[in-house]
Amino acid sequence: MSIIDTPTLIKTIEFREIGDERGWLVALEGNINIPFTMQRVYYIYGTQSHIRRGLHAHHAVHQIAVCLAGECKFLLDDGKNKNTILLNSRGLGLVIDPMIWHEMYEFSSDCILMVLASDYYDEADYIRNYAEFLRLANGK
Ligand code: T46
C-alpha cells in the first residue's frame, strides 16, 4: 500500500486497477490497501450540486472515500489549514483521518461516493459544531 502524503492535508491511496478486455476491477482489502479493518461501508448518491454534506469531524473513526461515479469536491480542515480535492477517479481513495473537519460539495448529478469506515456508526463519534472542533483541534 502506498499512501501519497502531499505537503497538504490531502492524503490519497492509488488502487491497482485490474483491466482486461472485459473491463475493470478494483479490490479493497482491510490492512492491505486500506490502512484499517473495515467495519462499515456506506455510499452517498442523488445529492444536488448546491448541497454541502459532511460539515463535521470524527473523534476516532478512520475513513477512505472513493468516488465510484461522477465527481464531487472535498474540503479538509485540521483547524489550522484547509485543502480541497476533486474526487473523480474510481482508482483513488481519499484518506479522512480523525479530527479532520470535512465537507463535500459540488456533487455531479451522477455522483456515487462510497466511504469505508473503521468502525460502526456512532453519532457520539461526530463533532458537528465547528467552534467545538476548533477548540478540540487546537488543544483548548
Ligand atoms: C462522513 C461523511 C464523508 C447512519 O444511520 N449510518 C451511517 O453509517 C451513516 C454514515 C449515517 N447514518 C445516518 C445519520 C444521519 O441521520 O444517515 C443520516 C445522514 O448522515 P450524515 O448527515 O452524517 O451524512 P453526511 O453525508 O453529512 O456525512 C457522511 C457520514 O455520516 C460521515 O461520517 O464522514 O459522509
From atom 11 of ligand 1, which residue's Cα is the shortest distance away? 121
Q: What is the pLDDT along the chain (140 residues), one digit of tens a residue?
A: 665 555 689 999 999 999 999 999 999 999 999 999 999 999 999 999 999 999 999 999 999 999 999 999 999 999 999 999 999 999 999 999 999 999 999 999 999 999 999 999 999 999 999 999 999 999 97
User: From the candidates 56, 58, 59, 102, which is the catalytic residue?
Assistant: 56
Sign of the Cα pseudo-torsion (59, 100, 75, 31, in order): negative
- List, in order, residues 6 or more apart from 84 with CB less than 8 Å away: 73, 74, 75, 76
For residue 44, report the distance from its CA to the centre of ligand 1, in Å.
9
Residue 136 has a pLDDT of: 97
Ligand 1 neighbourhood includes 63 CB (under 6 angstroms): yes
From atom 15 of ligand 1, which residue's Cα is the shortest distance away? 123
User: E strands along 72-127, which residues?
Assistant: 72-77, 82-87, 92-96, 101-105, 112-117, 126-127
The pairing of strands 112-117 and 101-105 is unpaired
- As beta bridge partners, residue 29 has none
Atom of ligand 1 nearest to the CA of 123: 14
The question of whether 56 is a catalytic residue gets the answer yes
Residue 3 has a pLDDT of: 59
Residue 68 has a pLDDT of: 98
24/98 Cα distance (integer angstroms): 31
Residue 135 has a pLDDT of: 97
Residue 99 has a pLDDT of: 98
